Every structure is written in structure tokens, then in C-alpha cells.
Amino acid sequence: MQKEFWLSRWQNNEIGFHNNDVNPLLVTFLPHLTLPPSSRLLLPLCGKSRDISWLLSEGFAVVGVELSELAVSQLFSELGLTPTIEEKTHCKIFKANKLVIIVADFFELSAADIGTVAGIYDRAALVALPPAMRERYAKHITAISVCAPQLLVSFDYQQEAMPGPPFSVPETELNVLYAGQYQLQRLASSPLEGGLKGKCDALEQVWLLQPKRAHL
């Protein structure tokens, strides 16, 4: 997906991926990451997810990455927070309390930009990307997070039935992308109620990715 695709989705308020409530899968499965209290979590391609607000309320620190500044302005306004804003050459950093959102192309960020993170929550990030970008994404997130454990939500459906996003990323592909660095465990797999966008049957799956070598 080109950057313009996402920027125009935000511009035109075509954000069907955005949920108005916290994702129940996050609430149920976050404990599997066994994070110490107050840990810092990375949310790649974060949009203005309500999951951010829930994580903050649970005492976590959040660093999110999002391409659209419009999404990030809406996020802070909906949270009732006024951020400080720092402009750098390749990104713009919005901060308030335990929340940092980096407005940037995720692929242009380094480990130093992100800072130390204890875990990653990927909801609608990997599955938002077309096949050619997913390999690059998986390598990049593994590198800049120094192989932090991940809670990952994915879809498995017949890709021919519907063009993405969201794309189908079945177990076979997750293994290709991540099994070199991570131990993968499927925590849940259930049919998506009403199908994906009402167009085809799909399984929504939750994965725990534990680094094979100790993180940090």
C-alpha cells in the first residue's frame, strides 16, 4: 500500500478498521506477554486506536507509530491530552505523559527513534500491508524492537475472495516471516462474526511471538 492510500483514507474518514471500543482480544491475551507493570509497549501502525487509551489506563507506557498526522491529532484530542510536539527531519514526535506517538513512515525509523520496548502489540499492522511489504515489515520490526515479544492479531481467509487490506496472513506465512527469531504460539482462532467486511468467511487469530533468544 502506498502512503497516499492511507493518508487519503484518513482524509476522507474511510476508517472502517477503527474500533470505538478497546479490542477484547487485547484485554484477554495481553497477560500472555507477561510484562512487568509499567512496561513500554510498541504499537506499530497505530492509527487512533482505543487500545492505546486502555493500555495507558492499565499503567503501561505506549510508543505508537503512525503515518497520518491527522489520525494522531484526532487521537490526542479524543484522549483529552495536549501533546508536546518535536519536529525532526524524518519524523514528528507527539508526547503526553506516558504516551509517545511518532508520526513517520514506520520503515524510516530506527531502534533509537523507538527507544527500548518490552513488547509489541500488532493489531491491523502486518495485515494492513501487501505481501511484498510484509517481509520488509517483519524484518524491520524485529530489528528496531530488538526482537521484543509480540501479541499479534491476524486474519486467515481465502485471499482470492477479497482484495486486502486487511490481507490474509495464515500460519504458514507467519512462520516464514517470524519463525527464524520467534517461537510462535496460536492463542486463539475464531470465525469473524458476519465475515470479513461481510464479504467472506475469515478466522481472526491471536498469536504470541516469544523471542528464541532472551530479549533485552
Ligand X SMILES: C[S@@+](CC[C@H](N)C(=O)[O-])C[C@H]1O[C@@H](n2cnc3c(N)ncnc32)[C@H](O)[C@@H]1O
Should residue 42 be labelled a site residue for ligand X when binding is judged by CB under 6 A? no
User: From residue 2 to residue 41, what is the string marking binding to ligand X with x (rule CB under 6 A)?
Assistant: ----x----------xx-----------------------
Q: Taking Cα atoms as reference points, which of 56, 101, 65 lies closest to residue 83?
A: 101
Min separation Cβ 66 and ligand X, Å: 5
- Which listed residue (29, 94, 106, 178) binds ligand X by CB under 6 A? 106
Q: Taking Cα atoms as reference points, which of 171, 158, 170 lies closest to residue 199?
A: 158
- Which listed residue (30, 41, 42, 46) binds ligand X by CB under 6 A? 46
Applying CB under 6 A, which part among 27-35, 44-52, 75-83, 139-147 lies near ligand X?
A: 44-52
Q: Which is nearer to ligand X, 17 or 54 (CB)?
A: 17
Applying CB under 6 A, which part among 26-34, 64-72, 92-100, 154-162 lies near ligand X?
A: 64-72
Q: In what order do the strands lie in the sheet with 40-43?
A: 84-87, 92-96, 99-103, 61-66, 40-43, 119-123, 150-156, 203-211, 182-191
Query: Which three three-digit cell numbers place residue 90?
Result: 524524518
Residues sharing a CB contact under 8 Å with residue 48, sequence separation 6 or more, in sequence order:
18, 66, 71, 72, 74, 75, 78
- Which listed residue (66, 156, 173, 204) binds ligand X by CB under 6 A? 66
- Which listed residue (33, 49, 55, 206) binds ligand X by CB under 6 A? 49
Residues sharing a CB contact under 8 Å with residue 19, sequence separation 6 or more, in sequence order:
49, 50
- Give the nearest residue (CB) to ligand X: 47
Should residue 68 be labelled a site residue for ligand X when binding is judged by CB under 6 A? yes
Residues sharing a CB contact under 8 Å with residue 127, sequence separation 6 or more, in sequence order:
153, 154, 155, 164, 165, 166, 167, 168, 169
Count of residues that interact with ligand X, criterion CB under 6 A: 20
User: From residue 143 to residue 182, what is the string marking binding to ligand X with x (rule CB under 6 A)?
Assistant: ----------------------x-----------------
Give the residues lining the site for ligand X (CB under 6 A): 6, 17-18, 45-47, 49, 65-68, 71, 105-107, 123-125, 128, 165
